[in-house]
A = this chain, B = another copy of it.
Amino acid sequence: MASVGIKDVAARAGVSVATVSRVLNAHASVSPAARARVLDAVAELGYRPNTLARSLRTDQTRTLGLVISDVLNPYFTELARSVEEEARALGYSIIFGNADERPEVQDHHIRTLLDRRIDGLLVSPADGGSALVLDAARAGTPMVFVDRWIPGADVPVVRADGRGAVRDLVAHLYALGHRRLAIIAGPAATTTGSERVEAFRDALAEYGLDLPAAYVGQGDFQAASGRRATERFLDLPTPPDVVFAADNLMALGALDAVRARGLRVPHDIALAAFDDIPWFVHTDPPITAIAQPTGELGRAAVRALADRIEGRTPQSVTLPARLVVRRSCGEAAPPEAPTEAPTEETPAGRSTP
């Protein structure tokens, strides 16, 4: 158990620990002979440097923190995966924190990450302006926001712009004859919670359509809230023709609610979702969704953070989302390719009504 240390290696190789350290860090000049002996000793002893000690000394951990809002949401899972891959490619490790959409849990993770002296932080804030996040940014912690962001912080943002796709969605719905469109929003404190509603409202306005308060359900990006909001819609004297869920989990909840009432999509009510997932191809019916370039976002975010850490100038990045039309809004969509490649859809034509 008394794990082998640099001293053991030095002793075995007949050199000083300084020399061992030098060969391990590809540091300048070491005689070929010494290098060889050290390498042999390392191999024979199975020596692995203690990263704790190294980090304490060098003040860098080669570790990035990623705090996501909800691991159980496939969107964030995919984001996390791409972040980890790109980080690994750049020589960093990732430590994840799952906020579960709860600001206190988020802050717990951020504090833990900071205590671990991570080199930088990737955050998709669960709330509108955690003091902790703001303080950390102000204190100089390299940081990048992904997907969601906090206004007023001087932090690069990597995200998707869904406005175009939302407009395409509304055009699609309008063309299918839908006029009463409702949305289940995420928490107003999150950017994606409010932006998606705004984009939706603006697109409706282009068609002379209104978004009454009763047609804005308040959700929290979790399935249960989507179910509740949908039940409320269905209880309205004049229920909407369409429910647009601002994320895939709330769409799941909406589906639960519709099913519980014995109603059918799209016959009784149409459904669309922000964020696309492989299962949407196989749901009954297949669900029309707005797809984000999730993998790209994750990679871009890591690159921006690495830029910031390594002294380059980090860039904010905004990538377009796109509409993927399926059958949940009433139209028979063409057959679709399997899982890995959802069909790129030409959005329904847009023209003022």
Q: Which residues of A contact B (CB under 8 A)?
A: 1, 48-53, 55-56, 61, 71-72, 74, 77-78, 80-81, 84, 88, 93, 95-96, 98, 100, 108, 111-112, 114-117, 139-140, 223-224, 227, 252-253, 255-257, 259-260, 278-279, 281-285, 335, 338-340
Contact = CB atoms under 8 A, between A and B. Distances in A.
B48 A111 contact: yes
Counting every copy of the chain, the complex holds 2
Nearest to A265: B282
Contacts of A50: 56, 115, 117
A256 B339 CA distance: 7
Contacts of A282: 252, 255-256, 259, 283-284
Given A259-B338, A279-B283, 18 more contacts: A1-B139, A49-B115, A50-B117, A51-B117, A52-B61, A56-B56, A71-B80, A72-B81, A84-B98, A93-B112, A95-B96, A223-B340, A252-B339, A253-B338, A256-B339, A260-B338, A282-B284, A283-B283
Contacts of A223: 278, 339-340
9 contacts: A52-B56, A52-B116, A72-B81, A224-B339, A256-B281, A259-B281, A260-B338, A282-B283, A284-B285
Name A's interface SS. helix
A299 to B, nearest CB: 15
Nearest to A105: B88
B338 A115 contact: no
Contacts of A224: 339-340
A83 to B, nearest CB: 11
Nearest to A223: B339
Nearest to A336: B259
Nearest to A95: B95
A253 B279 CA distance: 10
A284 B93 CA distance: 40
